[in-house]
Chain A
Amino acid sequence: MKNIDIEAHVTGRSLYLDDLPMLHGTLFGEIFSATVAHAEIISLDVSAAEQYPGVVRIFTYKDIPGENQIGGIVADEVLMAEKTIHFCGMPIAFVVATSVAAAQHARSLIKLETKSLPIITNPREAVEKGHLIIPPRQFKLGNSQEAFKNCAHIFEGIAETNGQEHLYIETQGAYAMPSEKNGVKVYSSTQGPTAVQKHMADVLNLPMHKIEVDVTRLGGGFGGKEDQATAWAIFCGLAAHLLQQPVKYSMHRMDDMKMTGKRNPYSSNFKIGLNQALKIIAYEVSFFQNAGAAADLSPAVLERTLFHCTNSYFIPNLTATAYCCRTNLPPNTAFRGFGGPQGMYVIEAAIAKAAEGLGVSAMQIQEKNLIKDDDAFPYGQLAQSRAAVCWQKATALFNLKEKQQQIKQFNEENKFFKKGLAAMPICFGISFTKINMNQARALVHVYMDGSINISTGAVEMGQGVNTKMLQVAADVFSLPIHLFSINTTNTFRIINTSPSAASATADLNGQAVEMASKNILERLKIVAAKSLNALPEQINIKEGVIFVNNVAAALTWKELVLQAFLQRINLSEHAHYATPKINFDASIEKGHPFAYHVYGTSFTTVTVDALRGTYVVDEVDIVHDIGKSKNTAVDIGQLEGGLMQGIGWMTMEEIVYDQKGVLKSNALSTYKVPDIYAAPKKVNIFLLETEKEEMALQGSKAVGEPPLMYGLGTWFAIADAIKAINPAVTLAYETPFTPEKVLMALYSSKKEFLQYEKPIGQLSVNKG
């Protein structure tokens, strides 16, 4: 089934935040933010800006009726700076004017005097100085220290993963208006409507029931609008509440890039030990996460890094330690994969380093160590593993041996271009790792004309969740899809929602839709049974036709619904779903945190230009553990899109902050995401139908985040090609593999260029 929104999308009729029809008297906001990363505020002078024609009011923290606090996990983030600036881009004032142009111009008239404070941009420096947001966390399995004594081979190294800008094509924004009796209604481009509601209530000093948050859809989110959409909604809400006028704020791209956090960069140490048979016996890893200036979601991101630090492998002896480091960058945040990719890159780097040292293919080590049924993950949960079946299927289906042979031949025959190949197995746990977030609600209304309307807590942002919600209901009722519609996500209809995140949105909300639909259906079957003189268990509804003992009855769906209504039967149901079985005890870092895991294996082939250091991704082959796909068009779309984002992260997407914490890659002209030419020439996807996964939505496994990690294979494939050109090179495990890094690695022996100053990459924070 096609995405229910697609016809509106292709005709431009889908509404996003900035497209909503505006109310008369709408005002426009712009944020005045810090241009330095760490400083004391000496004075703030808004007088000239206030005088500018069109300016209505300029808000600072002093105008906040409630708390100046929006921290989600840790209360360490103010809405507007008071005495101290903690990062470049930190909001200081909100200018509200009668036009966007007036607000923008007035903003440039604000004068700020500051006194510089020492700036930290490097997470390791933050650790040294004791700037940790939460105490270090450690996952242990077996005894790594002892186990290293028995290892035949030990390798150590450092891995650096850079951040990643979400680059949702729709920038952040919100549109707020006063509602009756001191309330506020806000349209927000957020993945977390409840987070907006909760924090706005605190800032405005109102109860949550006064705040209505409504979300139609997002023009992309990818985690960037999970927690970080909140501030902009509150700015609008604050101004609308205090001015009693509608206020809109749709961000300019450069403001968005400057003010919002990104995927957390990590600097990591690893030590891996193997036995003679290439089994990984011991692994020790330390993660230094660059959280930025406030906690935001970083502690949770860090936790998932630990959960996924062994990827698809069973490692009997492990010590993984993680540090959430406070620096003077914008607070980093959720991004598809949520710390998982950062953890997985390090174990893959460790395996690559071991393979290099031992003169074997990394694939040999990867394959030998895939996790098996009932092997324990570092957090104690036992695997129901599809790792080997995916690997073997991929090897056979994509003819790995032949592929390797062809690459070898190509490399022998070509001097100026060399190919490289890498495998990337993935394993990703499904559930919010914070157990209490694994709950959702749905509201199903059957109107007296037989049409059905559904509300859930899910936010549609391109992942097709609304389509899946309607499919679930249509399946339960066995009715044609045109009888259904889905509402905007609204905190007055569905409350206390978890954000649309963690790949779990369809699972959680869909099961609530299924429960609500089933309950109504049961009631309708009783009505039908009475009407047709049969027993409820003899009644069946298929494609809108009522059957008694599989014989079509003279009763239509519409008639049945009307009868039920006239008999005063409840045709509306609100259902609540909470994922069963899951648990986690953070005091011992053990439990069963995931409903299930998603597995897969990919092979990536690249070609590197030996003269220019440029490269293309030729082909990516994927075998993906999907369970029983509910919607293959949507699921393939998630796979292809996630892969591309992962490739972008590993190749051209380079976040550059200077030493003063100022973002240099601050526009689309300096931060490059993949374009159509950067897509792999071929992507071959095989959806592996695996055993029915009871905890997944009708057996259809979550698919949002896992495919991103196939992108990691691109880094290792490029590394493989570089070695074919320059076998002597010692590669630094640093992402992204820009053409710059490739060329520097290819010509690592060209000492004459080293007389010039260090590359900017080594000066900037994200490289550790």
Chain B
Amino acid sequence: MTQFILNNREINIELPDGFLLVDFIRYQQQLTGTKIGCREGDCGACVVLLGSVEQQQVCYQSVTSCLMPLINVNGKHVVTIEGLLGNDLTAVQKSFCDFSASQCGYCTPGFVMALSNYFLTEGPKTEAGVIAAMDGNICRCTGYKSIERAALALLQQWPSDDSNTLSKAIAQNIVPHYFSEIYERLLKISSPKTTSVAKKIGGGTDLFVQQPEKLSTGSLQTMVNNGQQPWLVEKEDTIEVSGHATVSFLARQEVMRKCFPNFESVIKLVSSTPIRNMATLAGNFVNASPIGDFSVFFLALSSTLIIEDNHGLTREQPFKDFYLGYKKLNLQPQEIIKSIRFRKPTAPCYVNFEKVSKRTHLDIASVNSALFLKVEDGLITEAALTAGGVGPTPLLLQQAIKTIIQQPVNFETLARLLPAAQQEIAPISDARGSQTYKRLLLQQIIKSHFVTIFPEIFREEKIFSL
């Protein structure tokens, strides 16, 4: 039994756990305003809002309904474009009309939902933020400029007082009045269920792309909607975060931004807002993509996975030994990644993450990489370099990095590292680039790490000829 509120109506249905929300909305509820463009979370035409009870209020997030199994909406508020409709157009809808920000109209509901969500969530409202809210939506007609104008006009009118987010959103005609009653109504809905024999699933953002037919008919064990809130614990030298934390959860943590000053720009390179709202850290690790952004990031941080079996027993697994081969893991079927513990790069440590893809945002990397450095008295005393897209798994370049230990931060050191890194990788040619390109790109990315971390040292032209 799945229970949730769809727009202004309680839903109580018996459907497979993996049944996709978009199919339920469109073909069982005839709410056809939500569109299907790709069924892989890449176009945003199916974006809806998902409201969850957190700390005595309902918090909303934009999600792609094409990758959302019903089990993960259990106990929540699902809002489709039809659910925004009160007596009149909402402020977002009106702005889209005013600026002619819609042509064929097919992608428009997704954009409206994504932008509405932005004004329905907490946090300062900025130009960058309002554009970023639509980073998961593709429009093939407008060229985006009219959409930008519509969004920026809304931003300008937005009152800067710090009243309650939801009340303000209602007062500003972002969402209709019935939203104010949703919290009470959600409390009356039964708590989420769990089963233990089923296929385990996190956000499902890749699994539902790979095997929708199989998953949408089966029963699932959800890692993200099992009543347990994601958590993050900061200790003296380390941070531990639960495996079922979403990327957005991680991005919201003050401590992450404190420890990793570039964390926001890292996040911006990882997928899109709706996918980050769904995708989990453990899912990213277990998916074992050779190009997984967070695998590449956390491999550089001497991370340890805390793995739990079905009896609740845990073991600690160094992340560097987790990947055994292409999509092969050091993980038993009954085990899950409970959490990950990684070191805090406190001074004199540095971390940098780089990613280059065909399209800068919402794309899979051609090559990505992270570099961790500890520099004491001008010498590199500890270092870790990772690379994705250049081998069957995310790689920790353990041999190459030895060439720079106890070396000064200078061009000569970098010149030793670059060829050594090439010895440890084996990229293949595919749609994301030729192996020649990937080799050259990793070289450039390693240079970029050093230029970004030590701009004063690596400012000379000779960086190009290395």
Where the two chains meet, the residues of A that have a C-beta atom closer than 8 Å to any C-beta of B are 2-3, 5-16, 18-19, 21, 101, 104-105, 166-171, 217-220, 222, 252-253, 415-416, 461-464, 610-614, 633-634, 636-637, 640-645, 652, 654, 656, 664-665, 667-670, 672-679, 683, 725, 738-740, 743-744, 747, 750, 753-754, 756-763
Q: Closest 7 A-B residue pairs measured CB to CB? A: A12-B33, A462-B104, A759-B434, A219-B106, A9-B105, A644-B143, A12-B81
CB under 8 Å from chain A, chain B span 434-453: 434-437, 439-441, 444-445, 447-448, 451
The reply to whether A676 and B148 form a contact with Cβ atoms under 8 Å apart is: yes
In the bound complex, residues from chain A placing their C-beta under 8 Å from that of B432 are: 670
In the bound complex, residues from chain B placing their C-beta under 8 Å from that of A645 are: 140, 143
Contact residue among A3, A640, A673 (Cβ-Cβ distance under 8 Å from B138): A673
A454 to chain B, nearest CB (A): 20
In the bound complex, residues from chain B placing their C-beta under 8 Å from that of A105 are: 213
A33 to chain B, nearest CB (A): 18
Whole-angstrom CA separation of A761 from B436 in the bound complex: 11
Contact residue among B30, B104, B445 (Cβ-Cβ distance under 8 Å from A612): B445
The reply to whether B140 and A169 form a contact with Cβ atoms under 8 Å apart is: yes
Contact residue among A7, A11, A170, A683 (Cβ-Cβ distance under 8 Å from B145): A683
Is B366 interfacial (CB-CB < 8 Å)? yes
A711: nearest residue on chain B (CB-CB)?
B143
Contact-residue size bin, chain B (C-beta under 8 Å from the other chain): 35 or more
A762: nearest residue on chain B (CB-CB)?
B434
In the bound complex, residues from chain B placing their C-beta under 8 Å from that of A744 are: 436-437, 440
> Which of B129-137, B161-169, B253-261 has 4 or more CB atoms under 8 Å from chain A?
B129-137
- Interface SS of chain B: loop
Whole-angstrom CA separation of A683 from B148 in the bound complex: 12
The reply to whether B444 and A743 form a contact with Cβ atoms under 8 Å apart is: yes
Contact residue among A18, A171, A611, A644 (Cβ-Cβ distance under 8 Å from B451): A611
Is B374 interfacial (CB-CB < 8 Å)? no
In the bound complex, residues from chain B placing their C-beta under 8 Å from that of A664 are: 430-431
B32: nearest residue on chain A (CB-CB)?
A19
The reply to whether A652 and B433 form a contact with Cβ atoms under 8 Å apart is: no
Whole-angstrom CA separation of A15 from B362 in the bound complex: 28
The reply to whether B359 and A10 form a contact with Cβ atoms under 8 Å apart is: no
Is B39 interfacial (CB-CB < 8 Å)? yes
Whole-angstrom CA separation of A674 from B360 in the bound complex: 10
Whole-angstrom CA separation of A645 from B103 in the bound complex: 14
The reply to whether B436 and A757 form a contact with Cβ atoms under 8 Å apart is: yes
The reply to whether B105 and A5 form a contact with Cβ atoms under 8 Å apart is: yes
The reply to whether B34 and A12 form a contact with Cβ atoms under 8 Å apart is: yes
The reply to whether A753 and B439 form a contact with Cβ atoms under 8 Å apart is: yes
A169 to chain B, nearest CB (A): 4
Is B43 interfacial (CB-CB < 8 Å)? yes
Is B142 interfacial (CB-CB < 8 Å)? yes
B352 to chain A, nearest CB (A): 13
Interface string of B375-409 (1 = CB under 8 A from A): 00000000000000000000000000000000000
CB-CB under 8 A for A761 and B34, given A462-B104, A750-B440? no
Whole-angstrom CA separation of A667 from B439 in the bound complex: 25
A676: nearest residue on chain B (CB-CB)?
B144
Whole-angstrom CA separation of A667 from B82 in the bound complex: 29
The reply to whether A675 and B135 form a contact with Cβ atoms under 8 Å apart is: yes
Interface string of B344-364 (1 = CB under 8 A from A): 000000000010111111111
In the bound complex, residues from chain B placing their C-beta under 8 Å from that of A673 are: 138, 140
Whole-angstrom CA separation of A287 from B253 in the bound complex: 57
Whole-angstrom CA separation of A10 from B93 in the bound complex: 5
In the bound complex, residues from chain A placing their C-beta under 8 Å from that of B89 are: 7, 10-11
CB-CB under 8 A for A14 and B359, given A220-B141, A670-B431, A756-B439? no
Is B100 interfacial (CB-CB < 8 Å)? yes
The reply to whether A738 and B358 form a contact with Cβ atoms under 8 Å apart is: yes
CB-CB under 8 A for A18 and B100, given A462-B105, A739-B358? no
In the bound complex, residues from chain A placing their C-beta under 8 Å from that of B431 are: 654, 656, 664-665, 670, 760
B272: nearest residue on chain A (CB-CB)?
A675
Whole-angstrom CA separation of A763 from B429 in the bound complex: 10
In the bound complex, residues from chain A placing their C-beta under 8 Å from that of B138 are: 167, 169, 668, 673, 675
Is B223 interfacial (CB-CB < 8 Å)? no
In the bound complex, residues from chain A placing their C-beta under 8 Å from that of B106 are: 16, 168-170, 219-220, 462
Is B102 interfacial (CB-CB < 8 Å)? yes
The reply to whether B356 and A614 form a contact with Cβ atoms under 8 Å apart is: yes
CB-CB under 8 A for A167 and B82, given A740-B434, A744-B437, A759-B429? no
The reply to whether B97 and A169 form a contact with Cβ atoms under 8 Å apart is: no
B147: nearest residue on chain A (CB-CB)?
A676
CB-CB under 8 A for A757 and B359, given A7-B97, A10-B102, A12-B34? no
A26 to chain B, nearest CB (A): 11
A sample of 24 cross-chain residue pairs with beta-carbon separation below 8 angstroms, ordered by A number, consists of A3-B102, A8-B105, A10-B92, A10-B97, A10-B112, A168-B106, A170-B35, A219-B106, A462-B106, A611-B463, A611-B464, A612-B441, A637-B141, A640-B144, A668-B138, A669-B364, A670-B432, A673-B138, A675-B137, A675-B359, A676-B144, A679-B148, A738-B358, A758-B436
The reply to whether A760 and B440 form a contact with Cβ atoms under 8 Å apart is: no
Whole-angstrom CA separation of A760 from B36 in the bound complex: 32
CB-CB under 8 A for A759 and B437, given A416-B451, A462-B141, A612-B356? yes
B208 to chain A, nearest CB (A): 13
The reply to whether A669 and B102 form a contact with Cβ atoms under 8 Å apart is: no
A37 to chain B, nearest CB (A): 17
A99: nearest residue on chain B (CB-CB)?
B27
Contact residue among B45, B82, B464 (Cβ-Cβ distance under 8 Å from A169): B45
In the bound complex, residues from chain A placing their C-beta under 8 Å from that of B357 are: 672, 739
The reply to whether A678 and B359 form a contact with Cβ atoms under 8 Å apart is: yes
In the bound complex, residues from chain A placing their C-beta under 8 Å from that of B360 are: 614, 677-678
The reply to whether B359 and A652 form a contact with Cβ atoms under 8 Å apart is: yes
The reply to whether B435 and A11 form a contact with Cβ atoms under 8 Å apart is: no
B187 to chain A, nearest CB (A): 29
Is B327 interfacial (CB-CB < 8 Å)? no
Whole-angstrom CA separation of A16 from B32 in the bound complex: 9
The reply to whether A641 and B103 form a contact with Cβ atoms under 8 Å apart is: yes
B220 to chain A, nearest CB (A): 17
The reply to whether B96 and A756 form a contact with Cβ atoms under 8 Å apart is: no
A12: nearest residue on chain B (CB-CB)?
B33
Task: Given contact pairs A16-B106, A674-B144, A677-B135, enumerate 20 new A-B contacts (beta carbons under 8 Å).
Answer: A5-B105, A10-B89, A10-B92, A11-B33, A14-B105, A170-B35, A253-B37, A610-B464, A611-B444, A637-B103, A640-B142, A641-B141, A642-B143, A664-B430, A675-B137, A675-B361, A678-B361, A679-B145, A747-B444, A759-B436
Contact residue among A12, A669, A761 (Cβ-Cβ distance under 8 Å from B32): A12
B88 to chain A, nearest CB (A): 10
The reply to whether B105 and A219 form a contact with Cβ atoms under 8 Å apart is: yes
Whole-angstrom CA separation of A149 from B195 in the bound complex: 83
Is B146 interfacial (CB-CB < 8 Å)? yes
Contact residue among A3, A6, A18, A677 (Cβ-Cβ distance under 8 Å from B36): A18
B95: nearest residue on chain A (CB-CB)?
A10
Contact residue among B144, B213, B429 (Cβ-Cβ distance under 8 Å from A679): B144
In the bound complex, residues from chain B placing their C-beta under 8 Å from that of A217 are: 104-105
A756: nearest residue on chain B (CB-CB)?
B436
Is B107 interfacial (CB-CB < 8 Å)? yes
In the bound complex, residues from chain A placing their C-beta under 8 Å from that of B142 are: 637, 640-641, 644
The reply to whether A12 and B109 form a contact with Cβ atoms under 8 Å apart is: yes
The reply to whether A169 and B85 form a contact with Cβ atoms under 8 Å apart is: no
In the bound complex, residues from chain A placing their C-beta under 8 Å from that of B363 are: 672
Identify which of B82, B93, B435, B437 gathers the most chain A CB atoms within 10 Å of its CB: B437
CB-CB under 8 A for A9 and B108, given A640-B142, A679-B144? yes
B415 to chain A, nearest CB (A): 13
Whole-angstrom CA separation of A675 from B363 in the bound complex: 10
The reply to whether A16 and B35 form a contact with Cβ atoms under 8 Å apart is: yes
Is B181 interfacial (CB-CB < 8 Å)? no
CB-CB under 8 A for A644 and B144, given A610-B464, A612-B356, A678-B360? yes
B97: nearest residue on chain A (CB-CB)?
A6
Contact residue among B26, B141, B430 (Cβ-Cβ distance under 8 Å from A760): B430
CB-CB under 8 A for A10 and B434, given A612-B356, A652-B358? no
The reply to whether B356 and A739 form a contact with Cβ atoms under 8 Å apart is: yes
